[in-house]
Structure 1
Amino acid sequence: MSQELIQAVMVLTKQKGFAPEVIFESLEAALLQAYRKEPHSNPDAYVELNRETGAYKVMAKKQVVETVEFPETEISLLDARKIDKRYEIGDIVEADVTPANFGRSAAHTAKQMLIQRLKEAERSVVYEEYYSREGDIITGVITRVEGKNVYINLGKTEAILPPTEQIATETYHEGDRIKCYIVEVKKTTKGPQIMISRTHPGLLKRLFELEVPEIFEGVVELKSVAREPGMRSKIAVYSRDENIDPVGAC
């Protein structure tokens, strides 16, 4: 499983864009959960996974005692000295507690848990990327139109442009590239939900900021925006420099 594990990590790194360490940590967590399903598992166990070879083992701290009463958390002096001859009664040993045949029994459980954890990680990455772009313009491609809803591919996820956020005079066709305003990004159990709009006043404001150098540089300020989407728009502008005409600049 070890080399297959490393290869799988590399594939996921390329396909999903995850940092390898994110995948390794998810694997360790998945293997640990699989271990905890074993009878008499140590509650303080952890998994060590070699990032180069893919080899792993379950480790746990055990106290050195003369007579073992609780094998999950204790180790005899004789067994402790097989690890290191310097151990004495009362010492704490980092012991390998990997169950026999654990690799086969853990593989299926760990795989399912890993898939779930990676889905959660992928959703988190997508959420953070688009959340940071709230209040900004994004360009997407229309993938389909179903009823009155327009589905738009934004790159790493899909968003729905509902009829309430569409311009009445516009028509939308599959394959068209379209600019939208990101109103809000929400976390849901099915992944991030991105609220986009073609009618929001912020769309016009951001377009002016991108197209007019004086606004982008902060010399001219957009004080307010009023829109009748598809019909007309009005903006109020103010110049911080008396030598620049704000209306002429826009």
Structure 2
Amino acid sequence: QALLRRAGATLVPVPVDDEGLDPARAPQASPPRLIHVTPSHQYPAGAAMSLSRRLALLDRASSHGALIVEDDYDSEFHYAGRPLASLQGLDDAGCVAYLGTFSKVLAPGLRVAYAIVPPRLVAPMRAAVRLSGGMVPVHVQAAMADFLAEGHLNAHVRRMRKVYHQRMLDLAGRLTGMARGRWQIGPVDGGLQLALWLDPLAGQDDAALAQALHEHGLGVMPLSQLFLSPPRAGLLLGVATATPQAIDRLATALDRLVPLPA
């Protein structure tokens, strides 16, 4: 949000449900110039955008001459069935800029990302990268290219997909079993985050809850801070480090900090 606002954009929220962003519910009075989406796993709720909505979004963008920024930040970790085709792969009108990163797949410190953009944006993108001065060192790029070419990335992703899937199931299963009306768990079909939605009738302050968990050494994010409007209380939980010991610590702390419904 902050980067878009700094660039002078007026942000217009679009409702999201179990099929992801819903183009049919987008405000008709304000045609978009740029549409930012995370279709593989909607951030932060976790839903995957259905094929029908992907096609509807492409049609809407094309009709308005808008650019779709497809932020596919962790599509490699899809656990249920075959992943849907990317928006960029379905795009016939040249209106999608596809962004990906190796930071989620390998390590955050790597700081290597990539973009697939329509031909008309190649020159402006090159100019922007030169001006930003944020080039990845050539030796890091070369090592990454070799890692890809030799098949190591695919092997790593296959191995970690199994690990993260099991951690997702373990975390979701433990928290669902102890919920007792205090919260609901979001989709578990993919991604490295799990949404825990707090009971809206309880009036729980998710920012205060997140701070209390931080004091117990548990890193979580309050979901209300990720909404434009209206906010909904919950916690965004990381899956990558959800070992049995970490799940035990989180479950114990949540059980103590979140009261049962009256």
Q: Shorter-chain TM-score: which interval?
A: under 0.3
Greater fraction of residues in helix: 2
Larger Rg, first or second structure (1 or 2): 1
Q: Which has the higher strand share?
A: 1
Higher RCO by CA contacts (8 Å cutoff, separation 6 or greater): 2
